[in-house]
Amino acid sequence: MKTLLVRIATFKSLKNMFLAISFILFGSNTFSQFTIDPKWNKYYDENPSGIEEHHQATDFIKVIEYTEFTPSNKQFQNSVSLLKKCLLMLSQNALNQMMVDGDYYSRSYKHEDYYYLYNTYYKTLSRETWDRLCPYLISLMMIDGLLKFN
């Protein structure tokens, strides 16, 4: 256990610590189907989305307003207002988990697939907007029930 803690402490960034802790807590089965794509990992290291520092409910609401995201799931009844209310009621732990999930899955080999999936269900976004806001949008797609991860 001590060796593991030393290794975690030596990671270069907080994001890697979050991934390592998540891996330890949830096991390898959770992440086994997803592999980090070096291309997208480098992209978000060089062009951070901002989700690491800005993951309050209001930050997600700003993304909803900017992209005109409208939930497609029946539970939200296509109501942006209801989605915003739900986000505002989430605990900080839930918002922190959204940040970790969004950051991780935006770096995966499925990045391109998620882009096309998003544009199939929601208002079409440009490639640049998707790449910049992907960590937020993946989390919103998860809340809406379109994406499901272990």
Burial of 98 (0-12, 13-18, 19+ CB in 10 A): buried
Least confident of 10-19, 36-45, 77-86: 10-19
Residue 103: which H helix or E strand, with range? helix 92-106
CB 121 within 8 A of CB 84: no
Look at the chain and count its residues. 150
Residues near 25 by Cβ (< 8 Å), separated by ≥ 6?
none
The domain segmentation of the chain, as residue ranges, is 33-143
Identify the pLDDT of residue 79: 93
The reported pTM is 0.77
Query: What's the maximum distance between 2 C-alpha atoms anywhere in the chain?
Result: 50
Structure tokens at 116: 């096309």
pLDDT digits (tens, 9 = 90+) for 76-133: 888 999 999 999 999 999 999 999 999 999 999 999 999 999 999 999 999 999 999 9
Spatial separation of the C-alpha atoms in residues 134 and 39, rounded to whole Å: 14
C-alpha distances in Å from residue 104, one per residue of 4, 23, 65, 100, 126:
21, 11, 23, 6, 21
CB 59 within 8 A of CB 132: no
Residue of 143, 141, 144, 137 lying closest to 67 (CA atoms): 137
Amino acid letter at 135? P
